[in-house]
Chains A and B, each alone.
Chain A
Amino acid sequence: MATVAGPARGNAIGEALRQARKAADTEYGIWSWIATVDHKRIGIMYGVTAFFFFLAGGIEALVIRLQLATPNGSIVNADQYSRIFTMHGTTMVFLVVMPLSAAFFNLLVPLMIGARDVAFPRLNAFSFWTFLAGGIFLNASFFTGNIFEGRLGAPDAGWFGYATLTSRQFSPGHGVDFWAMGLQILGIASMASGFNFIVTILNMRAPGMTLLRMPLFVWMTLVTSFLIIFAMPVITVALFELMFDRLFNANFFNPAAGGTPLLWQHMFWLFGHPEVYILILPAMGIVSEVLPTFARKPLFGYPFVVLSGVAIGFMSWGVWVHHMYTTGLGTIANSAFGISTMLIGVPTGVKIFSWLGTLWGGSISLRAPLMFAAGFIAMFTIGGLSGITHSIVPSDYQQQDTYYVVAHLHYVLFGGAMFALFAGIYYWFPKFSGKLLNDALGQVHFWLMLIGFNLTFFPMHISGLLGMPRRIYTYSGDNGWDLWNLMSTVGAFTIALSILVFMINVAITARRGDRAGSDPWDGRTLEWSIPSPPPPYNFAEIPRVHALDDFWHRKYTEDAQGRPVPIPAGAALAPEPEHAEGGHGIHMPSPSYFPLIAAIGFPLIAVGLIYDYAILAVGAAVLLVGLYGWALEPATEE
């Protein structure tokens, strides 16, 4: 094909490439970032922003641990403590793990499926700016009290905001208003990106990239995106109702008018359990990419891992009552949901065994990404097992609202999600920066974080079983909890130290890191087939895909024993990526300011609802200007 089309088309492509590159190269200023619709830049912005929120949520965690280090702690008072743990939980779930996953969706999905961008680049920018607006708005709540007198304005009802803790009666001030509306704004951002990635994955695959040739990370993005677009509406409606209760005297969760606070719990956890998988499935996807590369073996049982991911997506809708055993729904309901919760452990177990099977007999290279991925498997397994203990109703009665639950959820979300996200950061950092993170420092980071993590959260199993309740701001010294709490605090600061090592690593690498070629890890998926960092248009020519792990098969063939044998460069076997596309030039989508403008409308509307309808009107106008400008401008310069 290449020879038939001849040099004429080559020139046309070359010219198009030159122009696309020129447009991108001449623009590196701040405005080019603000108007960008490039999925890679948006991914980087997601990642950097989420990391800042990670530091904020981490500082909140350190305050909590300092307060609880010893009995009768007096660093903060009860009111401040409630606000800080509420913001810690809300931040880590909605402003750290979800957007970090979104960062990876953005960076990787188009590259992995052989596309030049997502299906709706401006909608993608809109997701990011709306996320940023929501995050800033939520954190602005701190300043609605009088911060100089030590009165924080942040929400104080816990990250799950149980009714009636969120009622005006029990939470005066505007903290919960900011929480309810901030989460609605963040919901808009995640739903927009959910729609975008489903369409991208279903519709933008390179020729030959059938569904069962997609890298597992892409599959997990697809399942997660479906969970997002169906679960976020439920919480958004609950928050909407809460907002009406607080701002307009509605009665949804008001027992005095006959309302039932349990409605909140049902809606929250009907969202909340799928949310757990929204947080963990992308992490599982990352690990499923890292392990095969560093074991130099294909993912063990790929179709089963795909299928179990899809099964988890469906089953996650049928287990929410395990958060509500003690609310008195009755034995039948509790038993049914206990069984469904145990069942959802099965597809999760399938994944764990497939990861172990991938490592088994592989030629393993112990680099930082693999260390974090292995850490993920171990920590997530512990968290999964303590989760199974929660599914057993009588056992859960005992653990409900104790530190045992805190231990469990951190093993899943920190030991699980965060370890995997760091594996992803070390793995793909060279692809997007062009430089390799220092591996020795990466190992130090890993070991400090692993030790710190277990020192922090393992003792919580014990303090929890000894009866220490969650959310208490202090405790007396005669409960036998002192040692376990002190250990947790020491561990928390060890984690902080490990994060410092990571930041130093990034700083050093930025100064003088080793240049990474296009394929530093001998990777298997398409992103490694293009330069690091990738050009704005990703693929000079859209690749044609022949197999799962297509890029690997371009580099290696197998000998009789099934061992990989490199294909000599230029050999006849090495399939040049064929030309899947005709000779027309590359039109990249034009930059746009309108997504940002539209996103600014949301926090203005929210502030207006709380304080002054004039601001509301301004916000609505800004939103409309953004949306109409967006609709009327052409997407690409022709």
Chain B
Amino acid sequence: MEHAAAGSGHLETSTGLDNRKLLMWLFLGSECLFFGSLIAAYLLYRDRSLGPPFPSDRVFNGVHYEGLFDIPFTSVSAFVLLMSSVTMVLALAAIQRGNRRSMQVWLLTTALLGTLFVSGQAYEFTVFHREGLSLGSNLFGTTFFVLTGFHGAHVTIGVLILLSLLAMSFQGRIQQKDSLNVELAGLYWHFVDVVWIVIFTLVYLIQP
């Protein structure tokens, strides 16, 4: 966590925006292109797999194949991630009020919800793998695992950041005046959450 300006210490910045916050916004802008490129590859290759398994029910060469997606299950895990954004907001509000105890509770809840989401994804991957889907099985396997895996890695990193903040706050290093740390983690967390809404809609819900 980089601290502001060399030398100019606690001076105002030219735009009035905090350096680190601006950095985070730029980083997230750049991340949009990362996810955008991966999602584009998924959409380009949707329905172009030369063989099973398929994401949704389908007849292929006269044989009926059941789709892999379990929409109710994934909806629940999407809901879990969505809720974690709410708890993240509560964590930030708590530290901005100066309530460290409450922030710790909400940070921990957010991290647990995030872990729950990633576990759900691990479970989903295992099930799909057992059904014969792998990176090399077909285009669906390739694009699905790389896109959702990349997102899962982001959630995992987010959980690590939240736990690091929690550890720092137990050392007394996150006080009310340091609420920006929590705010930045929150920005990242909400972004990853929003990306999941996009992926969930485009990949799971809208089937051709």
Contact with B along A373-401 (1 / 0, CB 8 A): 00000000000000000000000000000
Beyond A199-B23, A203-B13, A258-B50, is A118–B139 a contact (Cβ under 8 Å)?
Answer: no
A557-B41 Cα distance, complex, nearest whole Å: 59
Bound complex: CA A237 to CA B36 (Å):
10
Chain A residues at the B interface, C-beta cutoff of 8 Å: 37, 115-123, 191, 194-196, 198-199, 202-205, 209, 229-230, 232-234, 236-238, 240-241, 244, 248-252, 257-260, 263, 267, 537, 542, 581, 584, 586-589, 628, 631, 634-636
CA A234 to CA B41, docked complex, whole Å: 11
By a CB distance below 8 angstroms, the chain B residues around A123 are 2
Apart from A204-B14, A267-B37, A588-B7, 15 more pairs, CB < 8 Å: A119-B2, A120-B23, A191-B30, A195-B27, A195-B30, A199-B23, A203-B22, A233-B34, A237-B34, A238-B37, A249-B134, A250-B145, A251-B135, A259-B45, A263-B44
In the bound complex, residues from chain A placing their C-beta under 8 Å from that of B29 are 229-230
CB<8 Å pairs between A and B, sample of 14: A122-B2, A202-B15, A229-B26, A229-B30, A233-B33, A237-B41, A250-B136, A252-B41, A257-B139, A263-B41, A537-B7, A587-B6, A588-B7, A628-B164
With both beta carbons as reference points, the residue of chain B lying nearest to A624 in the complex is identified as B160
Q: CB distance A258 to B48 under 8 Å?
A: yes
Inter-chain CA distance A10–B23, complex, in Å, is 35
Asked whether, in the complex, the Cβ of B37 is within 8 Å of the Cβ of A233, the reply is: yes
Task: Name B33's closest neighbour in chain A (CB-CB).
Answer: A233
For A248, give the chain B residue with the smallest CB separation. Answer: B135
Docked Cα-Cα span, A116 to B15, in Å, equals 17
- CA–CA, A236 and B37, complex, Å: 10
- Docked-complex contact A258 and B14, CB < 8 angstroms: no
Chain A min CB distance to B188 (Å): 14
Task: Select one of A119, A232, A241, A586 contacting B146, CB under 8 A.
Answer: A241
Select B26's contact among A199, A204, A236, beta carbons within 8 Å: A199
Say yes or no: B8 contacts A259, CB within 8 Å: no
Which B residues touch A244, using CB under 8 A? 135, 142, 146
* Cα of A123 to Cα of B3 in the assembled complex, Å: 11
Asked whether, in the complex, the Cβ of A589 is within 8 Å of the Cβ of B139, the reply is no
The residue on A at minimum CB distance from B2 is: A120
Among B2, B31, B50, B146, the one with the most A-chain Cβ atoms within 10 Å of its Cβ is B2
Give the complex CA separation of A260 and B139 in angstroms. Answer: 10
B49: chain A residues at CB < 8 Å are 257-258
Please give the distance in Å from A473's CB to the nearest CB on chain B: 34
Cα A233 to Cα B36 in complex, Å, equals 9
Contact B19 A199 (CB under 8 A): yes
For A118, the chain B residues whose CB sits under 8 A away are: 6
Nearest chain-A residue to B8 (Cβ)?
A116
A251 pairs with B23, CB closer than 8 A:
no
CA distance A118 to B5 in the complex (A): 7
Contact, CB under 8 Å: A230 / B33:
yes
B42-99 at interface with A (beta carbon < 8 Å): 44-45, 48-50
- Within the complex, which residue of A233, A234, A258 is in contact with B31, where a contact is CB–CB below 8 Å? A233
Task: For the complex, give the distance between the alpha carbons of A126 and B48 in Å.
Answer: 42
**Contacting pair B33 A116 (CB below 8 A):** no
Contact A250 B164 (CB under 8 A): no
Known: A230-B30, A233-B33. A249 touches B136 (CB 8 A): yes
User: Are B138 and A251 in contact, with the CB atoms below 8 A?
Assistant: yes
- B interface, how many residues as a size bin? 35 or more
Q: Which of B27, B135, B141 has the most CB of A within 10 A?
A: B135
Closest chain-B Cβ to A542's Cβ sits at a distance in Å of 7
How many whole Å from B145's CB to the nearest CB in chain A?
A: 8
Complexed CA–CA distance, A563 and B140 (Å): 70
A167 to chain B, nearest CB (A): 13
Determine which residue in A118, A588, A635 has the highest number of CB atoms from chain B within 10 A of its CB, and name it. A635
Q: Does B38 contact A (CB under 8 A)?
A: yes
Q: Does the CB pair B142–A204 fall under 8 Å?
A: no
Nearest opposing residue in chain B for A236, CB measure: B34
Asked if B206 lies at the interface with its beta carbon under 8 angstroms from chain A, I say no
Closest CB-CB distance, A66 to chain B, in whole Å? 40
B164 near A631 with CB under 8 A, answer yes
- Mark each residue of chain B from 124 to 143: 1 if its CB lies under 8 Å from any CB of chain A, else 0: 00000000001110110111
C-alpha gap A122/B2 in the complex (Å): 8
The minimal Cβ–Cβ distance linking B43 to chain A, given in whole angstroms, is: 11
Would you call B139 and A258 a contact (CB within 8 A)?
Answer: yes
Residues of B within 8 A of A115 (CB): 5-8
Q: How far is the CB of B134 from chain A (nearest CB, A)?
A: 8
Q: How far is the CA of A195 from the CA of B31 in the complex (A)?
A: 12
Residues of B within 8 A of A119 (CB): 2, 4-5, 19, 23
Please give me the residue from chain B that is nearest to A635 by CB atom: B3
Cβ contact within 8 Å between B8 and A542? yes
Q: Is the CB of B2 within 8 A of A635?
A: yes
How many angstroms between the C-alpha atoms of A526 and B17 in the bound complex?
25
Inter-subunit contact A204/B136 (CB<8 Å)? no
* Bound Cα distance from A230 to B37, whole angstroms: 11
**Measured between alpha carbons, how far is A229 from B138 in the docked complex, in Å?**
32
Would B6 and A117 count as touching, CB distance under 8 A? Answer: yes
Chain B residues with CB under 8 Å of A195's CB are: 23, 26-27, 30
User: Which chain A residues lie closer than 8 Å to B141 at the CB level?
Assistant: 250-251
Establish whether residues A248 and B2, one from each chain, have CB atoms under 8 Å apart when the complex forms. no
Bound Cα distance from A628 to B157, whole angstroms: 13
Between B13, B26, B27, B50, the greatest number of chain A beta carbons within 10 A of the residue's beta carbon is seen for: B26
Note all chain B residues with C-beta closer than 8 A to A581. 8, 11
List B contacts of A229 (CB < 8 A): 26, 29-30
Measured between beta carbons, the chain B residues less than 8 angstroms from A37 are 6
Question: Which residues from chain A contact B142 at a C-beta distance below 8 Å?
Answer: 244, 250-252, 257, 259
The docked-state distance in angstroms from the alpha carbon of A251 to that of B141 is: 9
Q: Are B19 and A120 in contact (CB under 8 A)?
A: yes
Q: Does B172 contact A (CB under 8 A)?
A: no
CA distance A425 to B22 in the complex (A): 32
Interchain CA distance A581-B13 in the complex, whole Å? 13
A120 to B19, CA, bound (A): 8
Q: Chain A residues with Cβ under 8 A from B26's Cβ? A: 194-195, 198-199, 229
How far, in angstroms, from A150 to B29 measured CA to CA in the complex? 46
CB distance from B92 to the nearest CB of A (A): 19
- Verify A249–B135 contact, CB threshold 8 A: yes
Closest 9 CB pairs of A and B: A117-B6, A249-B136, A116-B7, A233-B33, A203-B13, A237-B37, A635-B3, A250-B142, A205-B14
Residue from the set A115, A232, A251, A263 with the largest chain B CB neighbour count within 10 Å = A251
Given contacts A199-B26, A248-B136, A588-B6, whether A234 and B37 have CB atoms under 8 Å apart is: yes
- Choice from B3, B15, B38, B135 contacting A636 with Cβ under 8 Å: B3
- Cβ of B9 < 8 Å from any Cβ of A? yes
Could you tell me the distance between the alpha carbons of A589 and B8 in the complex, rounded to whole angstroms? 10
Beta-carbon contact of B22 and A199 below 8 Å:
yes
Distance in Å: Cβ of B12 to nearest Cβ of chain A: 9
Contact indicator A250/B135 (Cβ below 8 Å): yes
Residue of B whose beta carbon sits closest to that of A270 = B37
Asked if B139 and A117 sit within 8 Å, CB to CB, the answer is: no
